[in-house]
Amino acid sequence: MDHARVYDTLMVRAKVRQIEGYTERHHILPRCMGGANTRENIVRLTAREHVIAHKLLVRMHPGNIKLWAAVMLMGRVQMPKARATAREREEFARLRREFRYTDEAKAKMSESAKKRGRNSPKTEFLKGLEPWNKGKKAWRKEYSHSEETLARMQETKQARQYDHSERMTRWWADRKAATVK
């Protein structure tokens, strides 16, 4: 199967049509591969098409771990089939849109935040006082690893990515073999 041809056909079709109902934004050239957030690079797909598009991208570029991650995160539902995934994503989006905190829950969260020093006039809104979260990550700017440590970290990361890529390739092959039977 020519995955690139199928993917290109799906993207061309998505550019020229209007969808009513639930849709998801998809980058034609993924951001992890240098794609931009421009209008020309984004199309609207149904949830099912979005899952299929990402599965095609993984088949086209099996060495890209970020594409694998996207597919794995999309597949964290009860049934991994594209139709089931699409239904559950649409249902989740509907529930998320309809969700509202009760006044009691809002008050409880506000109290908890004030106890921690968040949203408190004592820490954020008075001039001269530092906000509650200022300087939490400042140490990272001042600290740097040695060249030797950075090289070892890079080698470990590359080895882990290659190992993950190999495992995922075998996983897809086993899965495909199981569905063929």
Is the distance from CB of 54 to CB of 45 less than 8 angstroms?
no
| DSSP annotation of 41 | G
Question: Phi/psi zone of residue 117: left (φ > 0), alpha (ψ -120 to 50 degrees), beta?
Answer: left
Q: Would you say residue 82 lies in a domain?
A: yes
CA gap 135, 84 in Å, rounded: 45
| Domain identity same for 117 and 47 | no
Measured distance CA(39)–CA(42) in Å, rounded:
5
One domain for residues 85 and 163: no
Distances (CA, A) of 107 to 103, 112, 122: 6, 9, 19
Same domain, 54 and 90: yes
Task: Tell me what pLDDT residue 176 has.
Answer: 77
- Boundaries of domain holding 72: 1-99
Same domain, 1 and 55: yes
- CB atoms near residue 52 (< 10 Å): 18
Model pLDDT, residue 43: 95
Residue 119: its pLDDT value, please?
Answer: 56
Report the pLDDT value the prediction gives residue 114, as an integer from 0 to 100: 74
In a domain, 111, yes or no: yes
Q: How do residues 154-166 score in pLDDT, each as one tens digit?
A: 888 887 777 777 7
Q: Are residues 4 and 85 in the same domain?
A: yes
Amino acid 146: pLDDT:
81
pLDDT tens, per residue, the chain with 181 residues:
788 999 999 999 999 999 888 899 999 999 989 888 999 999 999 988 998 898 888 888 877 778 877 877 776 544 455 665 666 567 667 777 777 888 998 899 888 877 766 655 555 555 555 555 555 554 455 566 788 888 998 888 887 777 777 777 888 888 778 776 5
Both 58 and 46 in one domain: the answer is: yes
Indicate whether 8 and 76 sit together in one domain.
yes
Total domains, the chain:
3
Task: Please indicate, yes or no, if residue 139 is contained in any of the structural domains.
Answer: no
3-15 helix and 47-60 helix, angle to the nearest 10 degrees: 140
